[in-house]
Amino acid sequence: MMQRRTWIAGAGLGLVLGRARAARTWRMASGYSSDAFQTRNLKAFAEDLGRESAGAFQLTVFENNTLVRMPDIAQAVRDQRVDLGEVMMSSGLPKEVTAAGADAVPFLTRTPADEKRLWDCQRPVLERQLAAVGLKALLAVPWPPQCLYSAVPLARPQDLAGLRMRTYNPTTEAIARLLGATPVDVLTVDVKQALAQGRFDTMITSAVTGVDQEVWGRMKYLYLINAWSPKNLVLMNAATWAGLGAAHQALLTRVAARAEARGWAASAEAARSSVDQLRARGMVIEIPSSVLATSLRRLGERFSRDWVRTAGTDANQIFVPYYADHTPV
């Protein structure tokens, strides 16, 4: 009996040690601050993953560029220097992943339903391209629609000529040049400091970023142009994914889907509350004039044509199903 009890105790200890050895301790790199709704969602994702897996996965989120700076995150995941990473889809992926470019075509989407349909059409093409460069998409969450900020009032496109425009990806840089503004490359986390230094006069970004970076000290006007809703993408290494096994893949997929749904809901709420906060801080919130809005939409048509030429058949695989179910607003 004593030997049997000893064997049972030893087997139980062996099972505990086996589970401990099997636990995967992962690190996720993010470029956003701890109080950003995207970061809060990532931390909830990490907690869910640990709980749902009964500790088999232990994920720590390193925010605010503390582990890897945002421009280098995708490569760090490819090289397996970090286990998971969050990037902005329109600017943080290898150039071979052309499907990501749909994320930054201005005025392609007008409503949250449009944004969700675009992601549904975009994801299969994106996942195929990511696999070719050794990456795996887990989830994507949009920022609220991009708005136009300015230190001075803007009534016509000509009013932007000569201003310094903050840019963060090829689309915003091209918009700046086409409007006669001078592009100034500034990461999201550096916006507040760059504004304090007087480095730019106008920018296109979400109302959430405006609140997070406390832009009201210099930016006095906010125009609700609803340019586009760029998505943050959570990635992992494709080889790491393949080595998980079917059960763990299914678990990770389930937890990621829950995080994605939660993130989309948080984004919609953040859009509403952030505009209210900016208004309360004294910013003038306006719908753009018809002259300015028309000019910006013509730019959007130009970007759409240019992107289709760049992405080729992959663009058609996204746009054809997207427009097939499109109801004009």
Report whether 272 contacts 126 (CB < 8 A): no
Residue range 5-17: mean pLDDT, rounded: 39
Asked if the model's pLDDT at residue 321 lies above 90, the reply is: yes
If one compares 188 and 45, the residue with the highest pLDDT of the two is 45
Q: What is the pLDDT of residues 169-179, one digit of tens each?
A: 888 899 999 99
Predicted confidence at residue 20, as pLDDT, reads: 42
If one compares 232 and 323, the residue with the highest pLDDT of the two is 232
Q: Is the pTM of this model over 0.85?
A: no
Residue range 116-123: mean pLDDT, rounded: 95
Q: Which CATH class is domain 146-228+282-324?
A: alpha beta
Pick the CATH number of 15-142+230-273 from 2.40.110.10, 3.65.10.10, 3.30.530.20, 3.40.190.170: 3.40.190.170
Predicted confidence at residue 2, as pLDDT, reads: 44
User: How sure is the predictor about 301, in pLDDT bands with cuts at 50, 70 and 90?
Assistant: confident
What residue spans define the domains of the chain?
15-142+230-273, 146-228+282-324
